[in-house]
Amino acid sequence: MEAVYLKYFDLKADPFNLTPDPQYMYLSQSHREALARIQFGIEHKKGFIVLTGEVGSGKTTVIRTYLQNSPPNQKIALIVNTKVTSKNLLQNICRDFGIKADYDRLTKDGLLNLLYDFILQNSFYGINLVVIIDEAHDLGVAQLEEVRLLTNLETNTQKLLQVVLVGQPELWDLLNMPQLRALKQRIFIQYELRPLSFAETQHYIIHRLKQAGSSKENLFTPQAIQKIYHVTQGTPRLINVICSNALALAFSRNKKKIDADIIEEVVRDVVPTPVERPQPQVSEKQPDLVQNELPIPGIPRKKWKIGVFLFIFILLLIGINVFSFYIIKLLGLF
């Protein structure tokens, strides 16, 4: 079905694939600045760099783009599994650097010494070593401390190991902990990705369509793009999800253009809405409560009102009978 789907819209590839393919990387102003800061920090050996952004904002794509264009005098270890122990984290860094060793027999101190030797040897030959840790917000204090220890190797002018921490905004909650104040002081560059603007959202969609082989800039109507931006608030991953489903729906309806109605239908089916707590319904026939009117405990409100009414009615009958008795008596005297 995918081949027919692509052919229907004259596409050579899926333009809204969720994988972080640098070929489809759209450099908004914020993404361009993030990439430039990472390049500057690594090339000038500034030590720690922190990149944060909301879920789906394009952090991983920025990193992949840097990896694709990294200079030849660099060796980079990319860590994507962060829910590990300190020892496993060091093992993963060693393995990604291509260090061969008997990891089953090495202790944590042995791993540190192995990495220290590797860093010193490569520094001697002018190789810049970089550790990029994605999903760094899932790391613990102990793991981050191990990474900090790796950066203790430095000359009088530069760090011998560069570390890029990439994660969601919660990463700063972790870095602000008192136990990590030594690491925080070593952060030279920090940047938070911003969502796309409305104009950037429009350019983003057109850019990805062109990269996939489309020659039609108006495949999505302006009203459709406006609806997409309103729903996604410029989050690239959400834009991809909605646009991909919109193309599939338009194909099933035999439509050549994606309009606002299609986007509206996709949003209802794809984008989750928060579950609202149902509010209690008040019957229109229910009388309002009278202020300071308290029902007698153990007696339902309606029955209590009827009882009071009967009691007052009986009192009135007794009063009328007594009054009539005295009137008749008075008339008898005359």
> Does the pLDDT of residue 334 top 90, yes or no?
no
Please tell me the distance from the alpha carbon of residue 143 to that of residue 85, in angstroms, as a whole number: 7
> Does the pLDDT of residue 178 top 60, yes or no?
yes
178 class by beta-carbon count within 10 Å (0-12 exposed, 13-18 middle, 19+ buried): exposed
pLDDT digits 0-9 by tens, 5-59: 788 888 988 899 888 777 888 889 999 999 999 999 999 888 899 999 999 999 9
Q: Which of 263, 240, 269 has its CA nearest to residue 56?
A: 240
Q: In this structure, is residue 254 part of a structural domain?
A: yes
User: Which has the higher per-residue pLDDT, 72 or 158?
Assistant: 72
Q: Which of 236, 223, 313 has its CA nearest to residue 262?
A: 223
Q: What is the pLDDT of residue 80?
A: 92
In percent, the amount of the chain with pLDDT more than 90 equals 57
User: What range does the domain containing 8 cover?
Assistant: 2-17+198-270
As for how many domains the chain has, the answer is 2
Q: In this structure, is residue 299 part of a structural domain?
A: no
Q: Are residues 53 and 113 in the same domain?
A: yes
Q: Are residues 123 and 167 in the same domain?
A: yes
User: What is the per-residue burial (b if ≥16 Cβ within 10 Å, else e) of 297-316?
Assistant: eeeeeeeeeeeeeeeeeeee
Q: Are residues 185 and 224 in the same domain?
A: no
Q: Are residues 52 and 107 in the same domain?
A: yes
Q: Are residues 133 and 175 in the same domain?
A: yes
> Does the pLDDT of residue 268 top 50, yes or no?
yes
